[in-house]
Chain A
């Protein structure tokens, strides 16, 4: 709950991770591809990761708010289905850069643009495996105290502060400094 919300499932093999595997700082985002706030957080997380190259790793987990965002689950499935062909992050970026166009036709079009096997993509999109992955992400988020989107965890602890670029960068850099010198 408040002040003690911790990531219930640590970063593991089923996660999509950007940045260096041995980085001392871990940033996990629970997000929804149709959520406007997550759309604003997308370039911020990307720039922070570039700035902290070698020090930070970033994982994205799905937290679709289906009743508010009717295309959010499909978008999450599209990212996971692309992930089964090694293109999770490419699809993640396309989805956040095209939040207004997350209907099924558009999702198929993105798969074509990524030059992945479109038939396999369509099959995986509807598969129980992908459905379970999206649900597992959501459930781990609920049990970790995710209370809206985006919710960030820094080294396993929910970050309730300001996530604008400079604020987030400053917090992550101070965590990195502690990790190195303590």
Chain B
């Protein structure tokens, strides 16, 4: 399935954010949201990518936006990874049924059984404003996200 593109309604989801808590897409209604799908906790490029987004978080929040990252790793794995890397945003587990949410966004690699390296910027109504599929071995950087947040029409921007 192709990566979901601009204009599509983002598929709703409810995923574990910690071993005993869930987060839903609807929880972010009224705010802009950056969704970052990535292949795996602990792998080298993902670590660098999330470390970068961790630093860029204050710049993202200036656009009234939140940031969440999604992979197929389990909640306990996410918890250890998040603590080790001092990540300041939620890591969601697309763990059971495995990869179901990633698939709905067109951001799943069937053969590897992992999420693709993909970025989405959603407006406050949950409509996709920008999406980007990165080559799996390359850290995409954060310039695309910021440019997308900047280009959100004023009426779309969450008030």
Contacts and interface: CB of A to CB of B under 8 A. Distances in A.
Contact of B51 (A1, A2, A65, A142): A65
B153 interface: no
A119 interface: no
A143 interface: yes
Contacts of B140: 1-2, 147
A91 to B, nearest CB: 23
Nearest to B145: A142
Given A67-B85, A142-B146, A147 B141 contact: yes
Contacts of B139: 147-148
A12 to B, nearest CB: 19
B144 A147 contact: no
B55 A67 contact: yes
A36 B33 CA distance: 33
Contacts, number: 57
A142 B48 contact: no
A2 B134 contact: yes
Contacts of B87: 67
A2 B119 CA distance: 13
A5 B144 CA distance: 10
Interface residues of B, number: 24
B52 interface: yes
Nearest to B86: A67
A1 B132 contact: yes
B97 interface: no
Contacts of A5: 141, 143
Interface string A31-48: 000000000000000000
Given A2-B135, A68-B85, A145 B141 contact: yes
Contact of B143 (A1, A65, A67): A1
A19 to B, nearest CB: 27
Interface of B: 48-49, 51-52, 54-56, 59, 85-88, 132, 134-135, 138-144, 146-147
